[in-house]
């Protein structure tokens, strides 16, 4: 995925957070408004959701032409699907991890069924709701210092370590440091 597409994906995920609605719901509401011109939809989005011009423009494009943006649609749809039902309360943990990785630099989001793989030249992390009360952050990093929260995994698995996150507060400086090391090593 190129950096422009990554930026669009990030912006759309942030719009979901700001509005508290999934893109599917936002698209349905845009279509229900019955507007067909981009400028009209953008203005409607600004007044309805109180978004700024740039976010409203992106949402108007998405709402009117989602079929032309299948990569964005598939990434966001898979993430939405992963965090439904009794796992919906875990989405803030996922979003906190992705927001932190956004500060590190460029990477790819590769959604799978049930989890999201995060890649540079190779996978450096994965995020999955392991239970209805916990997200597992898998890390591909070598020789991290022992820590009670850093669970070493058997050799040959998808990740070298797992960190269990039951709340966004558990995504602390230790975990961010381990994630940064995995990010840099994938480089």
Smallest Cα–Cα separation from 26: which of 52, 5, 45? 45
Six token digits for residue 100 = 């932190």
If we measure between CA atoms, which residue out of 176, 125, 128 comes closest to residue 149? 176
pLDDT in single tens digits along all 187 residues of the chain: 455 567 777 888 889 888 988 887 888 888 888 887 878 888 999 999 999 888 887 888 888 764 444 444 456 777 888 888 999 999 999 989 988 998 898 888 877 778 888 888 899 999 999 999 999 999 999 889 999 999 999 887 789 999 999 999 999 999 999 999 999 999 8
Determine if the pTM surpasses 0.75. no
Q: Give the dihedral of Cα atoms 169, 173, 174, 177; nearest 10 deg.
A: 130
DSSP string, 36-84: -SHHHHHHHHHHHH---HHHHHHHHHHHHHGGG-HHHHHHHHHHHHHT-
What span, in angstroms and rounded, lies between the C-alpha atoms of 102 and 125? 13
């Amino acid at each position: 995925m190129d950096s422009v597409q990554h930026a669009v994906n990030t912006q759309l995920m942030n719009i979901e957070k700001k509005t508290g609605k999934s893109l599917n719901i936002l698209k349905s509401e845009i279509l229900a408004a019955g507007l067909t011109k981009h400028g009209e939809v953008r203005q409607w989005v600004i007044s309805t959701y109180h978004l700024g011009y740039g976010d409203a423009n992106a949402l108007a494009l998405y709402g009117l032409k989602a079929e032309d943006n299948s990569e964005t649609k598939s990434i966001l749809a898979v993430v939405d699907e992963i965090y439904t039902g009794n796992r919906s309360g875990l989405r803030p943990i996922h979003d906190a991890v992705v927001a932190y990785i956004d500060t590190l630099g460029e990477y790819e989001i590769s959604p799978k069924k049930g989890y999201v793989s995060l890649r540079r030249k190779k996978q450096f992390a994965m995020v999955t709701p392991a239970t209805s009360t916990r997200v597992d952050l898998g890390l591909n990093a070598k020789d991290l210092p022992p820590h009670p929260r850093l669970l070493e995994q058997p050799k040959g698995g998808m990740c070298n370590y797992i960190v269990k996150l039951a709340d966004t507060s558990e995504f602390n400086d230790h975990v961010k440091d381990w994630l940064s090391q995995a990010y840099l090593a994938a480089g």
